[in-house]
Structure 1
């Protein structure tokens, strides 16, 4: 049995499509601000694998709620990993490109020294450190720019705003790989099985969509595929300041995915699928 922390988030929704027999835990069933409660749930279910698809993801709000985010993103994943280690269960944990500072213009390798710019990144790094220290069978999957037909994400926002405006100003100096949540879910399931067969493959991996692009170019692709007559105007990050700093370079070196026979997903195909899903619900 696979136990999934998360039920309504983007990756969790896609996991439910791909693995309907898994057990999914929502916020009412698993309080991620209570690490020991999360560990107790794992001990009670004794699953063969656990996927943590839940997190505190409000990047700007985390600047004011870093202590809470540190429990949800840091202490609880560490407690989950320790529980899994005790049971011999594989643990797959989703992390983020925000553990890096975004310096330079080359992709970050999994072993590049982390240097988060914001509270969200700091709390996710705490989680990574705790998972690694637990000593069990694990994979930390760092990803970026997640999108799907569910929840709040860039594709849904651009689709909505593009139908309301003739011009939108979008940041063009942040570069990264948009990643379909469905592809992340599929990778998590594949890796969870692979770790049971080959626990020595434990480690940190990067998984982001290809090709790397800017938010502005991503927005143009959304408008084109959604057949919306909305022009995208490039702006700099400094023109759109927020409480939390964002890395300019979110490119991830995903070459280690070959360990699991995986490759970067094409976000353009993923975008087509998401827009088709949204068209069916609107």
Structure 2
């Protein structure tokens, strides 16, 4: 059986019929609720927060975000803004009169919000669609780069994001997590029920700042099956040494400039002299 993302782009696949079928399915409602609660537990929110719901669809996750903490929503009720490429899905959300603000946008073209807008972000069953390109002018790598770059900029320092997705294979897992790390995130992959048909993959992301300083190990410490990737180590796990970016190196300087540009700051253009050590003049 072919995967939905391999058949049509999401804005075409989720037409009026498919969107209503998705929203009214009791099985999908249960699965979506379970994954949303799991994502919230990984976000570790303790107070009402402003959350971006990427691929919000008809607002199934948003309805949970709006619940008070007494209903099992940690730190809730939360304020949320939803982003989705399917106008049919958003129409159903409007019919349901959801509490969040809704935006029609393609996450593969970026996240159109001001830097530092959100305390946290979540995405349920959406970012695997970014691993496909609909035109010859685009590529999955380019779509993922624009998405994670925009997401990183839209989150405040110390903020977190959790993206549940269905990777096609290990190569796709690596492509997605590598794109997140290149954008500046600390990133960890967590898999529930691995090796079964019910397996769920969560990409847990942190933005530098606060007590974690971008180190994902603080988020997933004590959880089994976590594959830790930290851009400061250049590899997996605490013992990785190969490919480490040294502070002050050209790669380190270029990455910092890219992060500043995404935040709207003006930086000096890089050249062949960037990161080169100056000779001591006598």
Bigger proportion of residues as helix: 1
Structure number with bigger Rg: 2
Higher relative contact order (CA 8 A, sep 6+): 1
- TM score, norm. by length of structure 2: 0.30
